[in-house]
Each structure stands twice: as C-alpha cells, then as structure tokens.
Amino acid sequence: MKKSVYEIKEWEHLCLPENWHPAANMFPLMSKSEEKEFEGLVSNLKIAGLLNPVTLVEGKVLDGRNRLLACKEARVTPRFVDWDESGSSPAEWVVAQNVNRRSLTPSQKALASLYIINNFKPTPEQKAKFMEGGTKWDKRLFICNMFGIDRHACSDIGAIEKWTQMKSDREGWLNPPRPHPELLEAIKNGDSIASTLRRIEFFVAQMKGSTATQQEMEECPTGQLAREFVRLIPQHIMVKAYEETLTWLEGEKRERLRKYWERMDKEFTWNKEKS
C-alpha cells in the first residue's frame, strides 16, 4: 500500500528535539565529521527538493531529523508520511532504516542498541524464528544481530551506561562516584567504547586516591577482553569487585558471571602486586 505524502503548513516546530520520537534519538545527528555531507544535503534540497519524505508517528518525527533540519537551512518545505505500522515496532523500523544507511562506528551502533535493550519486548514470532534449528533464545544476541555488533560491544555499552548513572558514597573511596552522562554523549559523537573504558578507569583510579595521570591511564592496554583488565588491576581488587557484583546480580546473569570468572581465573595470569 502506497503511503500518502502530505505537507504541514507550520512545520518548523518539528525541528525541535522535544518533537522527536524517542526511537529516533537512538542514532546521532550528523556529526562534525559529516558537515560536508550535511552541506551537500542542503545544496541538493535547493536544487531538487526533498525526495525522501520525513516519517512521523503520533505527530513526532520518527525518521528524517537531518533532512528536516536541512530543509530549514535550505528554506525548503518538507513533505511528510505517517509510519505504516507494517509488522514491527517504531524502534525496530528505525533500526532497519538507519543501521546500514548511516556511516556509524561499531561503538555508535552499540550505543544505539541501548534503547532496544531497555525497551524491546520480542514477539513470540521473533523468538520462534530465532530459535529455528534448535538455537536457544538469547535476547542480547538477537539485538547484536539486529545492529550488526558483537556481544562484547553490547555488554560493554551496558556496563558503561550503568557506570555513567552511578552515584553513591562507597566506603573506602576518597571521591564518591557521581553521574557521568557526558561519556555516553561522547560515544554518540564518535568516541570509541575502548577509549571510554580508559576514561572510566582513570575516574575510578582517582576516586581511590591513585597518583596515576590521565596520560598514564590513556596508555594502558585496555579493550573489551578481560585480559586487558587483569594486566592492569591487582588480583585482590578484582576479587573484591567480583564478590561485590555477586551480591546484586541474580539468576542467569549471576551464573554467567560465576562461570566467566572461573574461566578467566584459569586462563589469565593475575597481577599479584599490591596497590
């Protein structure tokens, strides 16, 4: 069924972020590195007008924020279509439209996956299709496949999100953790998950009264695998973190951590130095 395309007389208010659907905000706007692409979009609009209409759902922009902003810049009246609700949720539709169309880094795709991780409820049909051939249902792997990212990126971005929201008065910390929402914004703007993990390590070191400098922490070998952490962190600190985590994890996640810890303890050589 062909979508009905229409115009809105007073459309400029749709350029404001409060009029964008939450699912649209999964993906970043064109960044500074894409300025030339945005300028090209503005130029094309002046010549040919808007060829791909902006999609709305319940009066909010679901897809086409960059096109809409470019229309405002080019002084071109945009055209609109309503989302047709064709067998998927608005969020899934946005992923399908953007995950391969945009020049996004794996870290930006992982960040976008947070919205799905926190809001997605799979249908029985989606589960059945995933489990064809005897595969066990795994929500995280399903989402990884949706975004084209690996499981480590998915796990790391979830851990980073929790850390950015942390606010407590932990005993033994000179500077209690405070929220760091700017870390997620930095990933949206192009920072990698690996560099963000290094920044978190630096923050944690400073909280515990470390004399390490920012440059020293930046030069530490850090990645998405546990071996990078056990080279850096003494065993007794890792043990304490593991034991503390077990107190608040439950069910399958707790069992997965326990098995992972056992494998890591056998595989890696611990840093035995005292902090």
* pLDDT 10s digits, 196-221: 888 887 777 766 665 545 555 455 44
Mean pLDDT score, 12-39: 85
What's the longest Cα–Cα distance across the chain?
69
Select, from the ranges 25-39, 76-90, 107-121, 199-213, the one with the highest average predicted confidence (pLDDT): 107-121
pLDDT at 79: 94
**Where exactly are the structural domains of the chain?**
12-101, 149-267
**Contact between residue 23 and residue 90 where contact means Cβ atoms under 8 Å apart:** yes
pLDDT at 77: 93
Q: What is the second-level CATH architecture of the domain 12-101?
A: Alpha-Beta Complex (3.90)
**Contact between residue 132 and residue 139 where contact means Cβ atoms under 8 Å apart:** no
Q: DSSP alpha helices (H): ranges in the chain?
A: 35-48, 65-74, 90-98, 106-119, 124-130, 139-147, 151-164, 182-188, 193-207, 214-218, 226-232, 235-248, 251-267
* pLDDT 10s digits, 142-198: 999 999 998 889 889 998 998 888 877 666 666 667 788 888 988 988 889 988 888
Answer yes or no: is pLDDT of 275 > 70.
no
* Angle 239-244-249 from CA coordinates, rounded to 5°: 120
**Count of beta carbons in the 10 Å neighbourhood of residue 79:** 19
- Give this prediction's pTM: 0.67
Select, from the ranges 54-58, 84-88, 208-212, 264-268, the one with the highest average predicted confidence (pLDDT): 54-58
**Contact between residue 96 and residue 145 where contact means Cβ atoms under 8 Å apart:** no
Cα of 189 vs its chain's centroid, Å: 11
CA nearest neighbour of 151 among 231, 240, 265, 260: 260
Select, from the ranges 61-70, 160-169, 234-243, the one with the highest average predicted confidence (pLDDT): 61-70
Q: To the nearest whole percent, how much of the chain has pLDDT over 70?
A: 77
* pLDDT 10s digits, 107-135: 999 999 999 988 888 888 889 988 988 88
Residue 272 pLDDT grade (very low, low, confident, very high; cuts 50, 70, 90): very low
